[in-house]
Structure 1
């Protein structure tokens, strides 16, 4: 048994479950592929997490990765057709509902802090619905309201590509996250609508101008479900110190991303990244924004993570590395679980208004 309960701010496991794809794995059985299933979650102390719904393009671009003299850049993915996106999102949402029913109480959909806490106390795994990229949302927000009624509690307006709401930040290193225009006018209305509904706005994959647009508009704490520090790893996906300060000042949270190319100072996609380096990166964030504002946002099943962790069952090794660096029991508990529930309570308590 792991000694620390964990709530994870981001995973892409829905893309790989058997209920969604015929070649997928049974989330209820232990697998050696990927990072996450229920048995390995339990071995690692995971008691719940944000499960990302995400729509991919109809055609994957060819040769989209360009290796530069000192780094890399990824060609912008094309904008996804809204109807195509909605079909994928609905299929993923229904697949997750079927999985939860099939779990016979071992997994539960949670829509508020009390339900997460109750699931934890009763030994059930809490699933919170998140959507990464709002391509499926229409301009009148009817589908957003439907998703909220179905349990959606977290939304990233963009992934790393443009849509009608704003511009995602393309993957590149070394480069600033200031890569283009911010939110569109309808993107700003999306922020206001999420505030009214009490949907948490995820700033992951949003470029710097978009980040500041949300900061100027939103009444909720600023949240990045999976990101790292640009000062350590100058990837476009990572946050500048000024952005981190804004998260701190809003009493928000940054979920620490285990993706090695955003953790390592050299930006390399190498899974031999030492856990000491991972813990030092977390320590930088904590020193910048405070121990109440850094949590785990693993990006399981969506990234290359350190080989020493391997999958969800290896999370206790990360906590050991953090202990060795001086994190105490209280600090570990905040990082692993408490900080997410704190920011959920500040965000989800908002009730819809007309």
Structure 2
């Protein structure tokens, strides 16, 4: 079967969480019929080439990480869970590393730690896999775990998810609301930024509050990147980025991956799969206007979000390409949005 082109390199997915929870095995992801948004046959059918595979530590207990049912009203403010104990987060994070390695052993993905390896994997039989940490709860103030995780291939890290960590504060799931929701990075958070720069680990700003964003912008020597975020001017959700933040990203030659989660796409902030791709195109236009065509990509949030029915899962990405072409996106810009911009910013961050 001929795969749709250009391949889409994705800034964020939560497939690992499905393995950690026992909802699917690596063998099922390889064979197909895995449920959720991602498995290897559907990825090939949709031209989804992989990208950042997030390790996220869910809160203990039955409550969902993101209570989608609480995000369908005209306005909402979902309470944040408390900080996780480091020992619990450490155990779960290494379970996530083991799940990533199981996907590699099953032939689902090829672990990538350089931009050259990512590019080589785009047309290969397996997905390109970058190990990402969504929330750094497993890492202690001495940062020893950071070096251990880097040795296992970690190349992208968000200091926070939405709950607080010893490094900083995340934004809540609040609409309508600004991302200016609390204090900036702690002293440990500032050390984490410097250590990530030294190790060549991308620092993901997607869940960080505005004060923390500003601290990273002040401290970091790398391009500023939000792997799965949208434009606050289009959808005034606390998870989205203001025009001021977007201009700082542009000044750093960083980039933003457009999140497919409908609550961050729709002007009314509702998590509703009955969402037209016009909403995504409005965010695209705004981001291109402020960032330029070299600094925008996609960060789907597959397996971690409610996405538009028009896409459905990774096999549905031809619908996105078709919408982009109908919107006037030419072949050169299409390649940049789908994968070239991610390769550029990761090469600048990682070196090589």
TM-score by length of 1: 0.94
Partner residue of 1:97?
101
Q: How many residues align?
A: 346
Check conservation: 2:73, 2:270, Cα contact below 8 A.
no
1:231 to 230, 233, 244: 233
Partner residue of 2:305?
303
SS at match of 1:27: helix
Partner residue of 1:84?
88
Structure 1 CA distance, aligned partners of 2:282 and 2:73? Answer: 27
Structure 1 CA distance, aligned partners of 2:232 and 2:316? Answer: 26
Partner residue of 1:172?
174
Does the alignment pair 1:73 with 2:82?
Answer: no
Deviations 1:274-302 (A, max 9, x none): 11222222121111110100001000000
SS at match of 1:209: helix
1:60 is displaced (CA, Å) by 5.1
SS at match of 2:333: helix
2:18 to 16, 23, 39: 16
1:22 is displaced (CA, Å) by 3.4
1:46 is displaced (CA, Å) by 1.4
TM-score by length of 2: 0.94
Structure 1 CA distance, aligned partners of 2:309 and 2:174? Answer: 23
1:30 is displaced (CA, Å) by 2.0
Structure 1 CA distance, aligned partners of 2:13 and 2:40? Answer: 13
Distance 1:21 1:326, change over 3 A: same
Q: Which moved more, 1:295-304 or 1:267-276?
A: 267-276
Deviations 1:53-101 (A, max 9, x none): 0112223559977679841111011111111001111011112212211
SS at match of 1:131: strand
Check conservation: 1:10, 1:50, Cα contact below 8 A.
yes
Partner residue of 1:2?
4
Structure 1 CA distance, aligned partners of 2:315 and 2:73? Answer: 37
Structure 1 CA distance, aligned partners of 2:30 and 2:165? Answer: 35
**After TM superposition, what 4+ stretches of structure 1 lie above 4 angstroms from structure 2?**
60-69
Partner residue of 2:209?
207
Check conservation: 1:57, 1:79, Cα contact below 8 A.
no
Check conservation: 1:260, 1:268, Cα contact below 8 A.
yes
Does the alignment pair 1:244 with 2:228?
Answer: no
Does the alignment pair 1:42 with 2:48?
Answer: no
Q: Which moved more, 1:55-64 or 1:220-229?
A: 55-64
Deviations 1:136-174 (A, max 9, x none): 001111110010011000000001011100011111000
Structure 1 CA distance, aligned partners of 2:38 and 2:123? Answer: 22
Partner residue of 2:316?
314
Structure 1 CA distance, aligned partners of 2:76 and 2:119? Answer: 42
Q: Which moved more, 1:178-187 or 1:27-36?
A: 27-36
After the TM superposition, which residues 110-121 of structure 1 pair with which residues of structure 2 at under 5 Å, given as runs? 110-121=112-123
2:283 to 269, 275, 281: 281
Unaligned runs of 5+ in 2: none
